[in-house]
Amino acid sequence: MPVALALLLALCSLIPIYARSYGVGNVCELGRRPNTRPHSVSILEFGAVGDGKTLNTLAFQNAVFYLKSFADKGGAQLYVPPGRWLTGSFNLTSHLTLFLEKDAVILASQDPSHWQVVDPLPSYGRGIDLPGKRYMSLINGYMLHDVVVTGDNGTIDGQGLLWWDRFNSQSLEHSRPHLVEFVSSENVIVSNLTFLNAPAYTIHSVYCSHVYIHKVTANTSPQSPYTIGIVPDSSENVCIQDSIINMGYDAISLKSGWDEYGISYARPTANVQIRNVYLRAASGSSISFGSEMSGGISDVVVRDAHIHNSLSGIAFRTTTGRGGYMKEIDASNIYMVNVGTAFLANGSFGTHPDSGFDADAFPLVSHIRLHDIVGENISAAGDFFGTKESPFTSVLLSNISLSMKNSGSADDSWQCLFVDGSSESVVPEPCPELKSFDSSYGVAVAL
């Protein structure tokens, strides 16, 4: 055998961890197809009034009902002109494009009676805030395909203050609504819009596939309780790209169901790409995994993220009773500034939906790779707390350079318990658990 070929084969055997494609393919290219609909109607044709005061729920519902008849004729666009369009919750339909013109603002009604109450999601068994039912989201897609929510940077404003106050004062009747939610839908695009003040999550996709979210801005106040930007939940083939997200809690959070409900629903979140995002998470994490992850989360690639003013940068959260897994996760080319804990992995995090959880359902956290990361003004580099029954395994850190807020003080930058992995070129120097040579990373020596 020629020497060059032998060398190549030898190298290939070392490649898996570095060149693994994670099967993600080009999920971010899927949303690039042009979206033109042969028919377009304006919300004005359904009697809507854009004065910020008139309730337009019926106009939106009637418009969508009318546009259903175009589903087999190439679909249609519902056009929302400049104005302030107050509405309660409404549903979308397949082959529909909801287009918000520049200076068009859809305003969510602050009267809870304008929000339908619906059953909890089967993979959660109850609402996230409270047991039992939940408010339906403002804009909903249920069992749809080929839906687009876009515009020329129009705005969807959830006016969430009322819901945040009720959450804080424990006076919610049901779990809070989200701003936009797709359930069991395929080929969904959300783009070119600004989302403000979501009551809870801004964009929630659950049991979906082929979801493409790009060029969105999503903001809630840093004080808003547990508001989350984009939540791919039990969904596969998801791309989040070119977006700016500033949230009270997490900016992007990947989930897949809660304890026994998520375990029996068994629908993972897989093949997710997150690229070119600018994130802030005041009291949570800019990118988080879990803590609801009982259906499993795998094959996630994060590239080119700017994370600032966040309690933590990247967090993995789970607890006993969750079951499920978080694995094959690769994050790189990340810049962090003014971040509390750059990397956080907590195996004892979060509560249970009810007492029916399985105390022997241990989550698996493995094959996490964090590399090519620079941080400035970081308070703690990394906290990895696995548990005796389910230690975190195969955590690989490489080419990470964090300048610490209090450099020179006692070195507790990294804290590790029940975790093993390996590292290369990491400053400050990680804890011994993450320095050990792990044979499954045979190539670490060749970095």
Ligand X SMILES: *[C@@H]1O[C@H](CO)[C@@H](O)[C@H](O)[C@H]1NC(C)=O
Please, which residue, 35 or 440, has the CB nearer to ligand X? 35
Q: In the set 346, 387, 393, 394, which binds ligand X (CB under 6 A)?
A: 346
Q: In the set 44, 405, 424, 427, which binds ligand X (CB under 6 A)?
A: 405
Q: In the set 268, 284, 321, 340, which binds ligand X (CB under 6 A)?
A: 340
The 10 Å Cβ neighbour count of residue 291 is: 22
> Which residue type sits at 169?
S
Please, which residue, 247 or 270, has the CB nearer to ligand X? 247
Contact criterion met (CB below 8 Å) for 77 and 99: yes
Cα 75 → chain centroid: 29
The region of 199-207, 355-363, 377-385, 438-446 touching ligand X under the rule CB under 6 A is 377-385
Per CB under 6 A, 333 contacts ligand X: yes
Per CB under 6 A, 253 contacts ligand X: no
Per CB under 6 A, 127 contacts ligand X: no
DSSP assignment, residue 175? Answer: B
The 10 Å Cβ neighbour count of residue 33 is: 10
What count of residues does the chain have?
Answer: 447
Per CB under 6 A, 150 contacts ligand X: yes
At 28, give phi and psi (nearest 5°).
-75, -15
The region of 159-167, 199-207, 232-240, 379-387 touching ligand X under the rule CB under 6 A is 379-387
Which residue reads 């079951």 in tokens?
A: 323
Per CB under 6 A, 219 contacts ligand X: no
The region of 107-115, 147-155, 282-290, 386-394 touching ligand X under the rule CB under 6 A is 147-155
Per CB under 6 A, 382 contacts ligand X: no
* Residues 352, 333: Cα–Cα separation, whole Å: 35
Which residue reads 């897609």 in tokens?
A: 141
Per CB under 6 A, 142 contacts ligand X: yes
Per CB under 6 A, 22 contacts ligand X: no
How far the first Cα of the chain sits from its last, in Å, is 26
> Which residue type sits at 195?
F
The region of 157-165, 167-175, 233-241, 370-378 touching ligand X under the rule CB under 6 A is 370-378
**Neighbouring residues of 194: CB distance < 8 A, sequence distance ≥ 6:** 153, 154, 155, 156, 216, 217, 218, 219
What is the nearest approach in angstroms of ligand X to the Cβ of residue 105? 8
Specify the 3-state DSSP secondary structure of 343: strand
Report how many residues bind ligand X under the rule CB under 6 A.
26
Burial of 145 (0-12, 13-18, 19+ CB in 10 A): middle
What is the nearest approach in angstroms of ligand X to the Cβ of residue 308? 9
Residues near ligand X (CB under 6 A) are 61, 91, 118, 140, 142, 150, 152-153, 155, 192, 194, 217, 333, 338, 340, 346, 348-349, 372, 374, 377, 379, 383, 385, 399, 405
